[in-house]
Chains A and B, each alone.
Chain A
């Protein structure tokens, strides 16, 4: 993975020193709350009534074992022994004291980590395929490009006070695994007819209160122009994005107001002046960064390991885990493992310090010292020999990280919700827990098959409920927690926004509503049809009818 040079390290150290000084001046009363707010947000720190929150950046989700150990240490020293993994490959801690944050940043900097621009109206952490470099369907490795753009975005002098937050993702494979169309800029790595590498550029996607899918604004931008083209988009947005209304300030609103064609025209006009300028990438720079992502020293192995094959036959539980949690690898004899952070009884995405330490050890022993975060809030070991899978599984099972549920109903994407987040309208973790408890039977889960259930505690949509096959959104009605249900959303190549099925549910009704949705699916599905396929075939009406049929209204139904 990318290793800092002296410039990276010096710049990061200067950032830590800058924030230490800012924190001191704030505590001394020299900076007002309003003046300090964007500074601390751009260093990852939210101050909230119930619990502060400190969000650490994990660029494109890559973690070295020593970084995992550092997170474990921070969890023990400054938090209550655990961390939370988010849908944007960030790591969140909940109880840091403001006074401690500069020291936490210094500790992170010692392992080439930071909390830069993880909040605030700036360019946020850039995401990419968790299976970069190992996926069989990859067009090219996105990580060098993501790292190049990370450096460009870090402390960018012009774009630190945008109208609103700004998120960029790379897709690099035939199957989109980053939900490219929900990003402010989505960069799709493609080759043109001449085999030249470049980017299909999408802009104006985003979830939140007004979910919009990004539109293509350039079919092909050749690789040397990555920075200048992004800069042109950012400059148009910085100058013309709305600043009068927080809810209309994202770039998606600008793109929609102008129309994609006019937005494209403005970007191209801006780009005309900067194209081929100093920010044009050089072969030398791209090769320099790409060298950091050279393949690890793989062994030459047979395509199928005989020991692994016989254990698959002998151990049904192991085979079940392999079926759900192990992915094909590009190299013969290797596999990628997804460690589930969705064990029933623990909040989705939460991980304890001792689990982080265990994963660091497994990364060192089994996967060239690296792990990757997925936007589904799980953790992957990308380069495991087939021969090691059983040993890894035994240990992961003991550590509570081998729940064989990847892609199944209980692999819920879920934000921290009202238990932790000030923005939330409702709690989300108890809903996820109730669903996991109710549908804990593995045979039932396998019968339901692949399904994505996403929960957000408010319209900010951190739990990506709009793109869940089943999406659950917490809403506040007269100080009560209610939940709106949508179905038919989908991530991936055919990303779709779900449709709301009807009036929202009280918390004690929500598991029953999910159960009726699943019963409807089981009753009406064709053979080998996934939940989402059934919804697409028959529409939401049959689901709506059955979910609300004979519904007992304990309280006045609230329409949203």
Chain B
């Protein structure tokens, strides 16, 4: 089954399947389907050796939840080409720090996908923190609404801060204004 997602600012079709862990389920026993998948951090950690080749090819990605520590993936980043970050609620801002750490601290350059409660009005902040794939909850936006939503990625053109999208803060990348005596 295919979903519409936003990749690098454009709507595309995507078939990657999300694997979730039922409460109490054993990560070592969880079925991992063939094809493009995103598996929970727990499954990855339990079966890293078995899944490593699929990760290296980009077929298999790992997703981490809002409360999970991204540093647990630090040693795997050379192998991983797809990482997902789950937003259980759109007001849960932990995923932004996860992305900032992955891009800034850990130097991860593969696909970084925001999924779950991912809304248009956070697209600008999400992309600035380093998410290049935005996957709103299935059914949240119809096709025209998702196309229109891409515009929100560019809500701010010259943000003040340094972030994944802007390697320098504004005061280092622009010649800023000085006071003018004629100012009212």
Contacts and interface: CB of A to CB of B under 8 A. Distances in A.
Interface of A: 3-8, 10-11, 14-15, 18, 22, 30-31, 35, 38-39, 64, 66, 121, 151-152, 154-163, 227, 235, 238-239, 243, 273-274, 277-279, 281-282, 284-285, 288, 291-292, 294
A274 B96 CA distance: 16
A157 B160 contact: no
A278 B176 contact: no
Contacts of A38: 91
Contacts of B161: 152, 155-157, 279
Contact of A3 (B155, B171, B177): B177
A482 to B, nearest CB: 33
Contacts of A154: 160
B93 A162 contact: yes
Nearest to B95: A161
B123 to A, nearest CB: 11
A292 B159 CA distance: 21
Contacts of B96: 157-161, 238
B15 interface: no
Contacts of B184: 64, 66
Contact of A288 (B90, B145, B159, B176): B176
Given A158-B129, A288-B178, A35 B167 contact: no
A30 B171 contact: no
B107 to A, nearest CB: 11
B163 to A, nearest CB: 5
B94 interface: yes
B172 A282 contact: yes
Contact of B176 (A5, A14, A22, A157): A5
B113 interface: no
Contact of A11 (B145, B156, B178): B156
A39 B120 CA distance: 12
5 contacts: A3-B183, A14-B155, A284-B171, A291-B179, A294-B179
A227 B171 CA distance: 12
A6 B175 CA distance: 10
Contacts of A288: 171, 176, 178
B179 A292 contact: yes
B168 A278 contact: yes
A3 B179 contact: yes
A180 to B, nearest CB: 25
Given A66-B184, A152-B161, A5 B177 contact: yes
Contacts of A66: 184
A11 B171 contact: no
Contacts of B183: 3
B13 interface: no
Nearest to A151: B160
Nearest to A273: B105
A191 to B, nearest CB: 24
Most chain A Cβ neighbours within 10 Å, of B121, B158, B162: B121
Contact of B162 (A5, A163, A279): A279
A243 B92 contact: yes
A238 B97 contact: yes
A15 B159 CA distance: 11
Contacts of B126: 157
A151 B171 CA distance: 10
A235 B97 contact: yes
Interface string B142-165: 000100000010011111111100
Contacts of A238: 93-94, 96-97
Contacts of B31: none
Most chain A Cβ neighbours within 10 Å, of B100, B122, B163, B171: B171
B11 to A, nearest CB: 17
Contact of A160 (B105, B125, B152, B179): B125
Contact of B121 (A35, A159, A274): A35
Nearest to A35: B119
A285 B156 contact: no
Contacts of B157: 10, 14
Nearest to B106: A273
Most chain B Cβ neighbours within 10 Å, of A7, A14, A151, A284: A7
B166 to A, nearest CB: 9
B2 interface: no
Interface in B107-144: 119, 121-122, 124-126, 128-129
Nearest to A160: B125
B156 A160 contact: no
B160 A161 contact: no
Interface string B70-88: 0000000000000000000
Nearest to A111: B184
A168 to B, nearest CB: 15
Given A66-B184, A288-B171, 11 more contacts: A7-B174, A10-B157, A11-B160, A121-B91, A156-B161, A157-B159, A157-B163, A158-B125, A162-B93, A235-B97, A278-B169
A66 B125 CA distance: 33
A279 B125 CA distance: 18
B94 A239 contact: yes
B46 interface: no
A277 B170 CA distance: 14
A278 B125 CA distance: 19
Contacts of A3: 177, 179-180, 183
Contacts of A273: 105
Nearest to B126: A157
Contacts of A284: 171
Given A157-B129, A159-B93, A278 B162 contact: yes
Nearest to A18: B155
Nearest to B164: A157
Nearest to B69: A239
A38 B122 CA distance: 11
B94 A157 contact: no
A35 B124 contact: no
Nearest to B163: A157
